[in-house]
Each structure stands twice: as C-alpha cells, then as structure tokens.
Homo-oligomer: A and B are copies of this chain.
C-alpha cells in the first residue's frame, strides 16, 4: 500500500449504518452505538457523536459511509438515511482530519489478508468491495441486474431472507457468491455483515469477516494512507 499519510495515534472510527451508528476509538474496549434511520441528517448524527465522545481526545476520524464515495468525497445521498450528506463538511464539524470511505470498503480493509480479495457484506442490502494488492475498489455489485425484475441485492438482502426463509436464502447466498467468484476471480472471498449469523456452512475459499473488521479498517485508513 501507499504510505502517504502521517500515522495518527488516536483514531475515532464512525461506522454509519441504516439502523445504528457505531463509534469506536483506539484503546477503548467497547464501542458506543446509537439509533440512525431514514430521518437522520449528518448534523443530527454529529450532535450525537459530539455528546458521546466528550473527553475521548482523538486525533483523527475515519467514517464508513453507506453509499458512494469518490476520492474521499460523498457523491450520493444514502438509501436509508435523510438527505444532506453530499458536501457536508465533516473536518469542520469534527475539528480534526477526517477520511471517508464506503462502509463495505472499510470493513473489507479490516478483513484484508493480501492478494485479491472480494468482500461481500450481507446486511439490509448487499455491500461489496474488491482489494487488489492493497488497493481498494469500492463497488455496488448488488445493484447489478440479475434478471428482468431483480438485482443481485434483491436475491440476498434482509428482505429476501424474510420472504424466502433462511434455508432458501442460504442457497441464494451460495449462488450469488459463486457467480461473483466466477466474474471477479478473487483469490478468496470474505463474507461480512450482520446476516452472516444466519449462514451455516461456507463455500470454499470463503471465510467470515470479524466483528472488529470495520474498526480495524478505520485504523488502517490512517496507517496506510489509503
């Protein structure tokens, strides 16, 4: 990886999800989370974070954002939150340097063990990222159409799981994993996201991401100057 940034010692990692926002910091054992949802604006999120992190004394911030980020800038409002995210000045709001990355990409970075890795995040939707020799490519593979009426995300989302039941949903997950494996040719696949708990077995060359991946990814953003 390129090493272009000064290593920061105390990083606050903010992992923004459709149902909760998680805040974690270097050296603190537990994370703190609060409820997000379709009405949360970035300003409201910042109010919560400011309250929570009083006295935490961090030097820099990593944000995992559930939407499209290009060159460190949010370029689309998120599906599951209120609008107003494009152009919001996070460095000013935090008073510290901030790096923003797609949430699946941040988790992928935390799970990365070299070579060519495909990350698929099974949650409300289907997150995705590819890392090639340390270089991260955030993706939205879930939005690719898999048929006349459905996207790949529609096959394995939380909605699909509730509609199909766990058994059929698991079958779909395997199918989608194999399709993406054949299309993107990774050396291995990491499955993350809350819904991995509903999986039983794993396809070959596939492993589960860990709970701490987003945190680890947020730290690595500053270590490695991604």
Q: Which A residues form the contact surface with B (CB < 8 A)?
A: 2, 68, 70, 116, 130, 132-141, 143-148, 179-180, 182-185, 187
State the Cβ distance, A176 to closest chain B Cβ, in Å. Answer: 10
Chain B neighbourhood of A185, CB < 8 A: 68, 70, 137-140
A183→B144 contact, CB < 8 A: yes
Chain B neighbourhood of A140, CB < 8 A: 182-185
State the Cβ distance, A1 to closest chain B Cβ, in Å. Answer: 9
Copies in the complex: 2
Chain A's interface: helix, strand, loop or mixed, by majority?
mixed
A-B contact list, 25 entries, CB within 8 Å: A2-B133, A70-B187, A130-B130, A130-B132, A130-B137, A132-B136, A132-B137, A134-B135, A135-B135, A137-B184, A137-B185, A138-B185, A139-B185, A140-B184, A140-B185, A141-B184, A143-B182, A143-B183, A144-B144, A144-B179, A144-B180, A145-B146, A146-B147, A147-B147, A147-B148
State the Cβ distance, A68 to closest chain B Cβ, in Å. Answer: 6
Chain B neighbourhood of A187, CB < 8 A: 70
Chain B neighbourhood of A116, CB < 8 A: 137
When chains A and B are docked, how far (Å) is the Cα of A56 from the Cα of B98? 55
When chains A and B are docked, how far (Å) is the Cα of A141 from the Cα of B130? 14
